[in-house]
Amino acid sequence: MSTTERKIGRYLVPVLAVMAFQVLWAGLTAAGHSNSKPSRKPTAKSAAPATPVVKSVSAPKSKITISLSHRLRRGTLLVSLDDTPILHEEFTKAMLAISQTTKWDPIEAAVGKHKLTARVKGKNGKTYFSRAYEFELSRTKGAEIRIRMKGDKLTFDRIS
């Protein structure tokens, strides 16, 4: 056995052992076996009558795709849906481009009426704000909303 083979074996054996342990551990926890202490079982005196399990039905959801048309070299976009931040992302523009539209991955939101607000903070220190934009999110069709910079303000355009 060469020195190189010994070095490889010295590192490979522990790695394989750890991987085997992880696979075994994942299989045990998936099957319901865990290392935690079993919960205390109720006695006949303290056992309450069984109540039916009610599955909670979550509100239907749809997707919102947000894009920003801008002329800023770089900045940060903060979008809030019903006063809850849903998107906080940095963006950049190519050096030679006059303007650019940056599109982010869709975000899931509950179907129904919503209020959207946006704020852009440019790298130059200037902050741009939008007024609240109210819209209804349909169950069958998501929404694609473009934020545009017009002067010192941000405006919303619903594309779909």
* Structural domain boundaries in the chain: 1-35, 61-158
How big, in percent rounded to 5, are the helix, strand and coil portions of the chain?
20, 45, 40
Task: Inform me whether the pLDDT recorded for 89 exceeds 70.
Answer: yes
pLDDT tens per residue across span 42-59: 444 445 555 555 455 678
Q: What is the pLDDT of residue 33?
A: 46
Average pLDDT value over all residues in the chain: 79
Low-confidence winner among 9-23, 28-42, 77-91, 133-147 (lowest mean pLDDT): 28-42
What is the spatial distance between Cα 30 and Cα 38, in angstroms, rounded to a whole number?
Answer: 16
Task: Inform me whether the pLDDT recorded for 80 exceeds 60.
Answer: yes
Task: Inform me whether the pLDDT recorded for 113 exceeds 70.
Answer: yes
Q: What is the pLDDT of residue 4?
A: 61
Strands (DSSP E) found in the chain? 61-70, 74-81, 84-92, 100-103, 107-110, 112-122, 127-130, 133-137, 143-150, 153-158
Supply the CATH classification number for the domain 61-158.
Answer: 2.60.40
Task: Inform me whether the pLDDT recorded for 76 exceeds 60.
Answer: yes
Q: Average pLDDT for residues 29-46, to the nearest whole number?
A: 46
The whole model's pTM is what? 0.62
Q: What is the pLDDT of residue 27?
A: 54
Task: Inform me whether the pLDDT recorded for 35 exceeds 80.
Answer: no
Q: What is the pLDDT of residue 160?
A: 84
Q: What percent of the chain has pLDDT over 90?
A: 55
Q: What is the pLDDT of residue 66?
A: 97
